[in-house]
């Protein structure tokens, strides 16, 4: 992958001597980590290649080999260890509670726990001092290109839709369809399951665009921003479309030198867009539209659940099945992620998990406002917002975004501590 596509910065390419001590095992480790990213993005259901778990275990095996060569890499911040332990303790405790309070089958807690275990990658990335963010955003750019490629192919040859639908359904990679939002609004949906992750690459390249030193670099990063925004918009869900438009406007306002002018321009463009597409927006948010009505029915189910004090306080347990009225059958997960956290973990457990999830925002905007990846944290905030109505957060998608950002936070804190000759902490 080229440095330009990955968005590698010159300073990111200069590795300290301690990094080179790992030699070829470290290089192989980084390559396997990139392959893990690729499988998570292009084979999220693990139905095509089927070795996502094996790649994860191989990463740890290679890491142990690196540790054997570079023994100085064993110093771990207490804060990072505490974060990982608490992040894993909440779902494990909820599974234990399920077996104490219920214990019946079917049950999917252990299957869901695999996604949470990916948080341990932040420890690996920190100790190996590997920044996966440029690779992640490079992979996401390829995803955006795939969306655009399929879109143009269908424009040229509409008969490709049926075989694409069959392939997408069989692999769990994508959903291709003409979606009817009602009121005559029909749009082609080229929904790659991992397309919400494009919020990260959009924010990343917007940050690089803002800091680009030359006109040529600015044009390159602008092109990458446009590719990612177009790919996210054409993917076709409400979440994707809104974020593809609102994220650049938000970042323009955040980093404009004159906040009044930035707010005026951002608000003006937003109002203009609302006025121009007001009829389509009414259709998008029509409570009678099928998807919207399903989510409203889910809210009623959650209301009934949370009126039960035991469920509200302790939860039903991660992986517990529940009968969902709008679906008409039992399932172990719903689209409303944050309400699902309360159902799984109870109010206290969900609150703890929420604090852990928003920690990157706290760090970037309150603790270290000069954090180099602050732009990406803005994209991550949008991603958290999108996950309110889709179940991607604790899958391999969300659980690869968070460790990458978290590792970079603790590496940044390590550098800050070295600069002032204090012990690293975060």
Mean pLDDT of the chain: 84
User: In this predicted structure, which of 61-70, 121-130, 231-240, 264-273 has the lowest mean pLDDT?
Assistant: 264-273
Report pLDDT for 260. 65
Give the CA dihedral 393, 394, 395, 396, nearest 10 degrees: 90
Report pLDDT for 338. 94
Is a pLDDT exceeding 80 seen at residue 151? yes
Mean pLDDT of the 11-28 span: 53
Kindly report the CA angle at 365 between 10 and 391, in degrees rounded to 5?
90
Is a pLDDT exceeding 70 seen at residue 258? no
Q: Which residue has the higher pLDDT, 149 or 414?
A: 149
Contact 269, 245 (CB under 8 A): no
Mean pLDDT of the 139-151 span: 95
Q: Compute φ and ψ for 232, nearest 5 degrees.
A: -70, -40
Residue 362 CA to residue 368 CA, distance in Å, equals 9
pTM as predicted = 0.87
Report pLDDT for 20. 45
Whose structure tokens read 């290109």? 145
Q: What is the DSSP letter of 190?
A: E
Report pLDDT for 327. 75
Is a pLDDT exceeding 70 seen at residue 23? no
Chain segment 391-404, per-residue pLDDT in tens: 888 887 788 899 99
Residue 373 CA to residue 136 CA, distance in Å, equals 13
Is a pLDDT exceeding 60 seen at residue 8? no
- The DSSP annotation for 282-303 comes to HHHT-TTSHHHHHHHHHHHHHH
Residue 104 CA to residue 7 CA, distance in Å, equals 49
Mean pLDDT of the 174-186 span: 69
Q: Which residue has the higher pLDDT, 181 or 109?
A: 109
Q: What is the DSSP letter of 95?
A: H
Is a pLDDT exceeding 80 seen at residue 279? no
State the helix-helix crossing angle for 121-128 and 23-42, rounded to 10 degrees.
Answer: 150
CA distances from 241 to 216, 229, 380 (A): 29, 9, 16
Q: Which residue has the higher pLDDT, 276 or 320?
A: 320
Q: How confident is the model at residue 309 (pLDDT cuts 50, 70, 90)?
A: very high
Mean pLDDT of the 254-279 span: 65
Question: What stretch of H or E contains 323?
Answer: strand 322-324
Kindly list the domain boundaries of the chain, sorted by start residue: 3-9+18-419
Q: How confident is the model at residue 290 (pLDDT cuts 50, 70, 90)?
A: low
Q: Which residue has the higher pLDDT, 137 or 183?
A: 137
Query: How many Cβ atoms sit within 10 Å of the Cβ of residue 325?
Result: 11
Is a pLDDT exceeding 80 seen at residue 101? yes
Mean pLDDT of the 49-57 span: 87
When computed from its CA atoms, the radius of gyration of the chain, rounded to whole angstroms, is 22
Q: Strand locations in 135-258, DSSP E? A: 174-180, 186-192
């Amino acid at each position: 992958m080229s440095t330009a596509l990955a968005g590698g910065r010159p300073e990111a390419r200069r590795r300290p001597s301690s990094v080179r001590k790992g030699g070829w095992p470290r290089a192989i480790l980084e390559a396997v980590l990139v392959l893990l990213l690729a499988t998570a993005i292009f084979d999220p259901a693990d139905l095509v290649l089927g070795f996502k778990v094996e790649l994860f275990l191989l990463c740890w095996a290679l890491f142990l080999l690196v540790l054997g060569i570079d023994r100085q890499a064993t110093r771990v911040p207490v804060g990072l260890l505490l974060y990982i332990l608490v992040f894993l303790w909440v779902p494990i405790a909820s599974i234990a509670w399920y077996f104490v309070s219920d214990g019946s089958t079917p049950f999917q807690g252990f299957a869901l726990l695999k996604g949470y275990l990916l948080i341990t990658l932040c420890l690996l990335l920190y100790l190996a001092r590997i920044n996966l963010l440029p690779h992640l955003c490079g992979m996401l750019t390829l995803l955006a290109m795939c969306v655009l490629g399929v879109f143009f192919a269908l424009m040229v040859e509409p008969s490709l839709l049926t075989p694409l639908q069959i392939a997408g359904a069989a692999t769990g990679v994508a959903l291709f369809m003409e979606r009817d939002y009602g009121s005559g609004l029909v749009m082609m949906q080229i929904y790659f399951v991992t397309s919400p992750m494009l919020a990260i690459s959009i924010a990343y390249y917007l940050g690089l665009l803002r800091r680009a030193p030359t006109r040529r670099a600015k044009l390159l990063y602008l092109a990458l921003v446009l590719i990612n925004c177009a790919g996210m918009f054409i993917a076709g869900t409400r979440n994707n479309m809104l974020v593809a438009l609102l994220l650049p406007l938000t970042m323009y306002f955040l980093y404009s030198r004159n906040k009044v002018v930035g707010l005026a321009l951002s608000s003006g463009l937003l109002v203009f867009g609302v006025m121009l597409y007001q009829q389509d927006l009414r259709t998008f948010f029509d409570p009678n539209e099928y998807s919207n009505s399903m989510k409203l029915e889910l809210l009623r189910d959650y209301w009934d659940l949370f009126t039960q004090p035991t469920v509200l306080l302790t939860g039903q347990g991660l992986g517990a099945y529940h009968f969902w009225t709008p679906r008409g059958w039992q399932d172990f997960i719903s689209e409303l992620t944050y309400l699902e956290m309360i159902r799984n973990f109870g109010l206290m457990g969900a609150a703890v998990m929420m604090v852990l999830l928003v920690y990157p925002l706290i760090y970037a905007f309150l603790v270290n406002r000069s954090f180099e990846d602050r732009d990406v944290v803005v994209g991550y905030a949008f991603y958290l917002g999108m996950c309110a109505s889709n179940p991607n957060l604790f899958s391999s998608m969300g659980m690869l975004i968070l460790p990458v950002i978290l590792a970079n936070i603790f590496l940044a804190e390590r550098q800050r501590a070295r600069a002032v000759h204090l012990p690293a902490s975060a």
